[in-house]
Amino acid sequence: MENIIDLRQLYKAYGKQVVLNNISLTVKKREIVGLIGPSGAGKSTTIKTMLGMEKVDSGDAVVLNTTMPARKILVKIGYMAQSDALYEALTAKENLEFFGNMKGVTGNKLAEEIDYTANVVELTNDLNKKVSNYSGGMKRRLSLAIALLGAPDLLVLDEPTVGIDPSLRRKIWHELALIRQQGRSVLITTHVMDEAELTDRVALLLGGKIIAFAEPKKLEQQYGVDTIEEVFLKAESEEQE
What is the Cα–Cα distance from 164 to 166, expressed in whole angstroms? 7
Using alpha carbons only, what angle is made at residue 101 by residues 97 and 106, rounded to the nearest 5 degrees? 85
State residue 75's pLDDT score: 87
pLDDT > 90? residue 110:
yes
Average pLDDT estimate for 8-37? 94
Hey, which bits of 73-232 come out as E strands?
A: 77-80, 154-158, 185-190, 201-206, 209-214
Of residues 167 and 96, more confidently modeled: 96
Instruction: Please answer whether residues 86 and 131 qualify as being in contact, where contact means their C-beta atoms are separated by less than 8 angstroms.
Output: yes
State residue 1's pLDDT score: 67
CA dihedral 131, 135, 141, 143 (to 10 degrees): 50
Average pLDDT in the chain: 92
Q: What is the DSSP letter of 189?
A: E
> pLDDT class for 40, splitting at 50, 70, 90?
confident
Domain boundaries, the chain: 30-40+72-240
What is the Cα–Cα distance from 158 to 13, expressed in whole angstroms? 21
Fold designation for 30-40+72-240: Rossmann fold (3.40.50)
> pLDDT class for 163, splitting at 50, 70, 90?
confident
Residue 12 three-state SS: strand
Instruction: Please answer whether residues 187 and 35 qualify as being in contact, where contact means their C-beta atoms are separated by less than 8 angstroms.
Output: yes
10 DSSP β-pair partners: 23
pTM for the predicted model, two decimal places: 0.93
